[in-house]
Amino acid sequence: MPTLVMKFGGTSVANLDRIRRAAKRIGVEVAKGYDVIVIVSAMAGKTNELVGWVDEISPLYDAREYDAVVSSGENVTAGLMALTLQEMDVPARSWQGWQVPLLTNGAHSSARIQEIPIANLNRKFEQGMKVAVVAGFQGLSPEGRITTLGRGGSDTTAVAFAAAFGAERCDIYTDVDGVYTADPRICSKARKLDRISFEEMLELASLGAKVLQTRSVELAMRYKVKLRVLSSFEEQSDTAGTLVVDEEEIMESNVVSGVAHSRDEAKMTAVSVADRPGIAAIIFTALSDAGVNVDMIVQNISDEGRTDMTFSCPTDQVGRAEKALLAVKDSGALNFSELVADTDVCKVSVVGIGMRSQSGVAAKMFKVLSDEGINIKVITTSEIKISVLVDRKYMELAVQALHDAFELERVA
Amino acid sequence: MPTLVMKFGGTSVANLDRIRRAAKRIGVEVAKGYDVIVIVSAMAGKTNELVGWVDEISPLYDAREYDAVVSSGENVTAGLMALTLQEMDVPARSWQGWQVPLLTNGAHSSARIQEIPIANLNRKFEQGMKVAVVAGFQGLSPEGRITTLGRGGSDTTAVAFAAAFGAERCDIYTDVDGVYTADPRICSKARKLDRISFEEMLELASLGAKVLQTRSVELAMRYKVKLRVLSSFEEQSDTAGTLVVDEEEIMESNVVSGVAHSRDEAKMTAVSVADRPGIAAIIFTALSDAGVNVDMIVQNISDEGRTDMTFSCPTDQVGRAEKALLAVKDSGALNFSELVADTDVCKVSVVGIGMRSQSGVAAKMFKVLSDEGINIKVITTSEIKISVLVDRKYMELAVQALHDAFELERVA
């Protein structure tokens, strides 16, 4: 039998009605002849309740106990989903992580999947089970304790199962109906993409389009798992959602596939640091040790042996970054005249695998922004992405102007 | 190190404050030098929420999935308790049933414990763990699935651990401060017992004094586990609560230890059934098949080959009992002229191991009730118990009169 993996997030299983709705979708795939592996999240809100309790007991908790507690929400959903399917005469059973087993390393709360032996599930499929409902987000450590995979870990669970079982496809049911050329809330012309490449999806995921966890896309790309993102609240159809596939499976595409934005960015500049080898390492090691997620980095041209070092990070990490850099300054390892934080910026990016073969995208992007009177503060590029920091008040304008200029409302 | 088992019920771990309170008590025992095995229930209300969901999905649910769902509440408490203990610098970790493992048979939802291998916990105790927090109520089936032990199963879990680890004592923390000579809510003179024998506790448990699950008392009796029932809401002391011990450990006692009552009893009579061998078997097999919990049985003297068969059962099972008996009548296997149900009765019992060696208890009981003008409808006796059915309106009066007559307010 061909295998299909279907993953339902927290809002898709938030109550018994939604579980029933999801079960009906599963039933449709079973009727088509698939052996189905269903990955479920905890009912919406449940994991936050558990995390809240742990945080209240202990700010510096034992991650092994944290994992044992917070993984329980998925177990509940798995059992309830199996019961709902049985009620519809679909032979189903629930599997907790340790029962599969989904083997991980011992890095509690952010464990990495090491292996998913397929024998246990396959034996049950051979005995007539049609649906294995697997509790997402959790695994078993080498010490026999429960691990969790970190936030969004159920997406990763789903892709890992699809890879292990050679599934025909991995359908991620969520509360949005696919991946868009831009956020429809700020760009009315945004269009749902039928297909997108793994590489583009990765850039979009890391740019703040929170449809899929970055890690799950990486895993899907590595194991060539065909991913589909679709809404559990829309009518079912074979062309619903967005397929995330290998680049070769996308016949023709726009040069630019989408415009992404990220609102809560801050730009920080250490003014007049010594321009000599090792200084950048000192700065970014200190920031990394302090848990600051540095995104863009720009170093200005040197002037009399001094330079300015500029970087961006999430707005809520500015305080931490300042503290870390002032500490390094106090230690004498680093000197700067001033630390300037601009917390009123945002990041706007254009993404597209077409950029690899077509030049002039950057020039066009800068001209579009310039024509709108938007000043660019920082620029970074990758092979398939160009990102700029601009004042936050221009965010909507920038996204809309770029969407128009690259004609993203038109199907390629 | 000597081992102590401490069990905390749902109200004793209903929120983080109560978990903290319980953890403090555990800390006191650890400070005395015990290795402690803590058995926890789900936070009050959690299991009912889970059971409600399962019932809503499917009235005839798969018990294996039911068990997987409803066992999750205990896992949460176990993790939270371990974290709370760690926060107090007590080396603790949580154990789910499958991790111990607590091995059961495959009778889902009412599984029997088969074995508790002690190696895993003992290895951790040797490595410095002071408290093993075990999720109660759950185990592992031979097929590797989660089982539950039935309602009150956490008491049974606690006693089984105490037996397996040769614990010095098994303390059951609950919301009452011990076993009383009568229910203090209806008998103001009721006195807390410092000690009671297993046999008496068993009779009281089955008579409706819901302090301990019958099964856990049976298990404690078989393995000579010293049980203590005490309140988690009272101040801690070594003489708190009631010790349930072997008969030999009770030096001297009243002839009667307690007066128990059970409110929701019904008396049913099948009038004029044939008085021949096999008729009782037909009646009580039919009732048993219908899930009616028959308690007392009385057969009247035969009159011209016909007799009346009277029995008692819980009030809410009367309808089921009537349906079952009418069905047998319709099938022709049984005949009776009439089925009379009296749903306005209650059961009052006196219990005491002293009855074994002292006669006249029954006579005294009947005289006391007669003096109060209370008519006895049905009588049953065991070696250490006499029970009567009386009209419900006399319940408080009967309990108080018997408590006075047997001088239960006085310490033996």
Provide the pLDDT for residue A208: 60
Residue A21 φ/ψ, nearest 5 degrees: -60, -45
Q: Give mean pLDDT, residues A27-37.
A: 97
Cβ atoms of residues A148 and A61 within 8 Å? no
Q: Does A409 appear as a known binding residue? A: no
Which of the four pLDDT bands, split at 50, 70 and 90, describes residue B401? Answer: very high
Indicate if the pLDDT at residue B124 is higher than 90: yes
B contacts of A16 (beta carbons < 8 Å): 53, 56-57
Would you call B87 and A54 a contact, using CB atoms and an 8 Å cutoff? no
Q: Does B185 appear as a known binding residue? A: yes
- SS percent in chain B: helix, strand, coil, step 5: 40, 25, 35
Percentage of chain A surpassing pLDDT 90? 70
Provide the pLDDT for residue A255: 85
Give the E-state strand segments of B182-287 in sequence order.
195-197, 227-231, 242-245, 258-274
Fold of B3-175: Carbamate kinase (3.40.1160)
Task: Give start and end residues of each alpha helix (H) in A109-206.
Answer: 119-126, 153-164, 198-206
At A183, which amino acid appears?
D
Domain boundaries, chain B: 3-175, 259-405
pLDDT digits (tens, 9 = 90+) for B186-238: 999 999 999 999 999 988 876 666 678 888 999 999 999 999 999 888 877 77
Can you name the residues that pair with A390 across neighbouring β-strands?
A: A346
Contacts of A272 (CB under 8 A, 6+ apart): A306, A307, A308, A336, A337, A338
Mutation target vs B (from A46, A50, A53, A109; most B CBs, 10 A cutoff): A53
Can you name the residues that pair with A382 across neighbouring β-strands?
A: A385
Using omega within 30 degrees of 0 as the cis cutoff, is the peptide bond preceding A314 cis? Answer: no
Which of the four pLDDT bands, split at 50, 70 and 90, describes residue B383? Answer: confident
Would you call B68 and A86 a contact, using CB atoms and an 8 Å cutoff? no
Mean pLDDT of the residues in chain A: 92
CATH class of A259-405: alpha beta
Cβ atoms of residues A314 and A264 within 8 Å? yes
Distance (Å) from the alpha carbon of B135 to chain A's nearest alpha carbon: 11
A contacts of B93 (beta carbons < 8 Å): 62, 64-65
Q: Specify the higher pLDDT residue, B301 or B76.
A: B76
Q: Does A263 appear as a known binding residue? A: no
A contacts of B62 (beta carbons < 8 Å): 82-83, 86, 93
Distance (Å) from the alpha carbon of B91 to chain A's nearest alpha carbon: 11
Euclidean distance between CA atoms B63 and B73, whole angstroms: 17
Q: Compare all CA atoms of chain A with the CA of B68 and give the residue at the minimum distance.
A: A79
Give this prediction's pTM.
0.83
- Residue linked to tokens 């809330």: A185
Helix (H) or strand (E) segment spanning residue A39: strand A35-40
Which of the four pLDDT bands, split at 50, 70 and 90, describes residue B380? Answer: confident
Cβ atoms of residues B56 and A84 within 8 Å? no
What is the dihedral sign for C-alpha A160, A165, A166, A172? negative
Q: Is A124 helix (H, G, I), strand (E, B) or coil?
A: helix
Cβ atoms of residues A195 and A250 within 8 Å? yes
Indicate if the pLDDT at residue B288 is higher than 80: yes
Euclidean distance between CA atoms A352 and A362, whole angstroms: 12
Q: Give mean pLDDT, residues A85-92.
A: 97
At B384, which amino acid appears?
I
Question: How many CB pairs (< 8 A) connect A and B?
Answer: 105
Cβ atoms of residues A170 and A228 within 8 Å? yes
Residue A385 φ/ψ, nearest 5 degrees: -155, 140
Beta pairing, strands B242-245 & A227-231:
unpaired
| B80: nearest Cα among A52, A73, A44 | A52
Q: Specify the higher pLDDT residue, B373 or B303.
A: B373
pLDDT digits (tens, 9 = 90+) for A257-285: 999 998 889 999 999 998 888 888 999 99
Euclidean distance between CA atoms A14 and A115, whole angstroms: 29
Euclidean distance between CA atoms B291 and B381, whole angstroms: 24
Euclidean distance between CA atoms A261 and A275, whole angstroms: 32
Q: Specify the higher pLDDT residue, B247 or B38.
A: B38
Contacts of A376 (CB under 8 A, 6+ apart): A366, A369, A388, A389, A390
Cβ atoms of residues A165 and A118 within 8 Å? yes
List, edge to edge, every strand of the sheet that includes A306-314: A297-299, A306-314, A258-274, A338-351, A385-391, A378-382
pLDDT digits (tens, 9 = 90+) for A126-141: 999 999 999 999 999 9
B contacts of A56 (beta carbons < 8 Å): 16
Euclidean distance between CA atoms B232 and B157, whole angstroms: 18
Would you call B54 and A83 a contact, using CB atoms and an 8 Å cutoff? yes
Q: Does A298 appear as a known binding residue? A: no
Provide the pLDDT for residue B412: 63
Task: Give start and end residues of each alpha helix (H) in B146-305.
Answer: 153-164, 198-206, 214-223, 279-289
* CB nearest to A65's CB, from B69, B82, B146: B82
Angle at B78 between CA B74 and CA B81, to 5 degrees: 135
| B99: nearest Cα among A101, A110, A153 | A101
Which of the four pLDDT bands, split at 50, 70 and 90, describes residue A303? Answer: confident
- Residue linked to tokens 């103001």: B188
- Spell out which chain A residues touch chain B, with contact meaning CB-CB distance below 8 angstroms: 16, 19, 50, 53-54, 56-58, 61-62, 64-66, 68-69, 72-73, 75-76, 78-80, 82-84, 86-87, 93-94, 96, 98-99, 144-146
Cβ atoms of residues A311 and A395 within 8 Å? no
Task: Give start and end residues of each alpha helix (H) in B207-317.
Answer: 214-223, 279-289
Euclidean distance between CA atoms A182 and A373, whole angstroms: 21
How many CB atoms lie under 10 A from the CB of residue B78? 33
Euclidean distance between CA atoms B388 and A399, whole angstroms: 84
Q: Give mean pLDDT, residues B276-295.
A: 89
Q: Does B47 appear as a known binding residue? A: yes
CA B209 from chain centre, in angstroms, equals 7
Distance (Å) from the alpha carbon of B76 to chain A's nearest alpha carbon: 5
Percentage of chain B surpassing pLDDT 70? 98
Would you call B96 and A54 a contact, using CB atoms and an 8 Å cutoff? no
Indicate if the pLDDT at residue A25 is higher than 90: yes
Q: Give mean pLDDT, residues B359-377.
A: 92
pLDDT digits (tens, 9 = 90+) for B131-178: 999 999 999 999 999 999 987 799 999 999 999 999 999 999 988 888
Say which DSSP state B36 is in: E
Contacts of B108 (CB under 8 A, 6+ apart): B63, B64, B66, B67, B141, B145, B147, B148
Q: What is the interface pTM, i.e. ipTM, of the complex? A: 0.80
Distance (Å) from the alpha carbon of B371 to chain A's nearest alpha carbon: 57
Mutation target vs B (from A62, A84, A140; most B CBs, 10 A cutoff): A62
Q: Is A402 helix (H, G, I), strand (E, B) or coil?
A: helix
| B356: nearest Cα among B250, B261, B260 | B250
Distance (Å) from the alpha carbon of A101 to chain B's nearest alpha carbon: 11
Helix (H) or strand (E) segment spanning residue A55: helix A46-57
End-to-end CA distance of chain A: 36
Beta pairing, strands A297-299 & A338-351:
unpaired
Euclidean distance between CA atoms A346 and A314, whole angstroms: 10
CA dihedral A112, A113, A115, A116 (to 10 degrees): 160
Distance (Å) from the alpha carbon of A287 to chain B's nearest alpha carbon: 30
Provide the pLDDT for residue B10: 92
